[in-house]
Amino acid sequence: MIKFIKWFLLTLGIMLFWLTLNVLSTKQGWFVTPIVTKNDQSGFISAIKKSISDKSNGNAVMLLINNGKIVAKHNTSKGQPVNENTVFGVSSMGKWVAAVGVMTLVKQGKLDLDKPVSSYLTRWQLPSSNFDNNGVTIRRLLSHTAGITDGLGHNGFATRDQIQPLVEHLTQAYDAEEGIGGSVVVGIQPGSKFKYSGGSYNLLQLVIEEVSGESFASYMSKAVFKPLGMTSTTYRHDDVKNLAQYFDLDGNIRKYPFYTSLAATGLYTTASDLYRFVTLHLTDQPQNSNLGDILSANLLKEMRTPHASMMSIDVWGLGPMLFTSNNEDDFIIGHGGKSPSLNATVRLNPTNGNAFILLETGNSFLGANSATQWTLWETGNPDMYMLRNMIPVMIKRVLIGCILILIISLIITWRRRSHSSN
């Protein structure tokens, strides 16, 4: 019996070691290689430009930023020419921008991150639930941990006249994706887990209007866009003269939708304006700038402090996504947007001012996939999307390894017993 226990514990220990080794190697990216070596900037620029041009089914604008300065640009289009001053819809990327608007009200002392959101609302309230709605705070709405289970998903509306009033949209969104309820309700214990929620940002849109006394678009323009010099950024795409054509996956032109959900998915902007937005989040902001007047360094640090995790991996701050470690006690931060053949992405290393911006239509994942390559090249670490794709392979490798360990262990034990019996 003692021998069996020793054999069992030894075999189990080797299996646990194999599991730990695989988890560590996957998280650290031991089995992935950047498209070029870390210091080969010109090689990366050439490789990413070729990749974008080869894979684009519509149009795309890319900016590569080093030490806070633009070092490369790339534009491609199968239709009207585009450049860094062309306006694109950026879908969910607007959540990060909206989060900055929320934090300006925190800076002004008009919002408390940890107060129940209900204390700021007069036009609408969360419906009763099986949970304590007072646990729904500004902090948790920003980090997708408020327990909101709307599932949105906004398809938008074909014309401006069809746009729902915001409070009506919160109750039941008529532009919800097929198969999704489209109601902003508390379906999970607030603070218990991460659950991505467009409805959380619709609710924050209402909070900004209630607290500021202005329309969401007006407040964002005054508090964020104008101070940052984002002169081409808007929530009214029908007013834009330099709007990129919106290609579908087959290369046909489609129309941009209209949104009630401005904070969650209704932003229209340019690569050059997003470059200005990126500078706000640098650890060392440019000298002689007024960026500190928009948000303090402490609030910006709070935005990229982990507030949500999945499988023990930090994934979200207060607005920005935390894609991976930047190897300097901070994160590669940013956000993406996809809807449905539009893909926009911004990635930033706030410590050294390196960043990647790509806006495109005609593809569902070209922006995200290109940014994943940039992140791996910048840090040597896989981002959350690459990790997600690597996990099934890792699980298969662990299972096969554990089976082999068990078989080998049994064979060794059997041979030892055979020798001892002889």
Do residues 203 and 222 both lie within one domain? yes
Average pLDDT over residues 402-411: 84
CATH number at residue 359: 3.40.710.10
Report if residue 3 sits inside a domain. no
Segment 174-198, tens digit of pLDDT:
998 887 888 999 999 999 999 999 9
Do residues 338 and 232 both lie within one domain? yes
Q: What's this model's pTM, rounded to 2 decimal places? A: 0.90
Of 36-40, 160-164, 328-332, where does mean pLDDT reach its minimum? 36-40
Report if residue 303 sits inside a domain. yes
**More confident site: 417 or 378:** 378
In Å, how far are 18, 136, 298, 412 from 286, measured between CA atoms?
47, 36, 17, 65
C-alpha–C-alpha distance, residues 181 and 163, integer Å: 18
Segment 198-208, tens digit of pLDDT:
999 999 999 99
Taking a C-beta distance cutoff of 8 angstroms, is the pair 321, 384 a contact?
A: yes
Do residues 150 and 217 both lie within one domain? yes
Q: Is the pLDDT of residue 163 over 80?
A: yes
Alpha helices (H) along 285-383: 297-303, 366-379
Do residues 23 and 100 both lie within one domain? no
Segment 119-160, tens digit of pLDDT:
999 999 999 999 999 999 999 999 999 999 987 778 899 999
Do residues 321 and 407 both lie within one domain? no
pLDDT recorded at residue 7: 73
Do residues 76 and 154 both lie within one domain? yes
Report if residue 4 sits inside a domain. no
Do residues 72 and 104 both lie within one domain? yes
At residue 364's C-alpha, the angle toward residues 361 and 369, to 5°, is 105
Do residues 412 and 322 both lie within one domain? no
pLDDT recorded at residue 177: 84
Do residues 23 and 161 both lie within one domain? no
Instruction: Specify which residues 154 forms β-bridges with.
Output: 176
Report if residue 2 sits inside a domain. no
pLDDT recorded at residue 271: 98
Which of left, alpha, beta for 229 (phi over 0: left; psi -120 to 50: alpha)? left
Band (18; pLDDT cuts 50, 70, 90): confident
Alpha helices (H) along 143-261: 166-171, 198-212, 216-220, 226-228
Band (420; pLDDT cuts 50, 70, 90): low
Taking a C-beta distance cutoff of 8 angstroms, is the pair 55, 76 a contact?
A: no
Band (288; pLDDT cuts 50, 70, 90): low
Tokens representing 307 are: 């507030």
**More confident site: 339 or 392:** 339
Segment 20-79, tens digit of pLDDT:
887 776 676 767 888 898 889 999 999 999 999 999 999 999 999 999 999 999 999 999
Segment 354-368, tens digit of pLDDT:
999 999 999 999 999
Average pLDDT over residues 287-310: 87
Report if residue 119 sits inside a domain. yes
Segment 231-254, tens digit of pLDDT:
999 999 998 989 999 999 999 999
Most confident among 12-16, 268-272, 279-283 (mean pLDDT): 268-272
Do residues 370 and 413 both lie within one domain? no
pLDDT recorded at residue 324: 94
Band (171; pLDDT cuts 50, 70, 90): very high
C-alpha–C-alpha distance, residues 140 and 194, integer Å: 9
Residue 156 is part of which domain span? 41-381
pLDDT recorded at residue 413: 77
Report if residue 242 sits inside a domain. yes
Band (351; pLDDT cuts 50, 70, 90): very high
Count of the separate structural domains present in the chain: 2
C-alpha–C-alpha distance, residues 42 and 180, integer Å: 45
Do residues 163 and 232 both lie within one domain? yes
Of 237-241, 299-303, 375-379, where does mean pLDDT reach its minimum? 237-241
pLDDT recorded at residue 13: 83
Q: Is the pLDDT of residue 386 over 80?
A: no
Do residues 325 and 177 both lie within one domain? yes
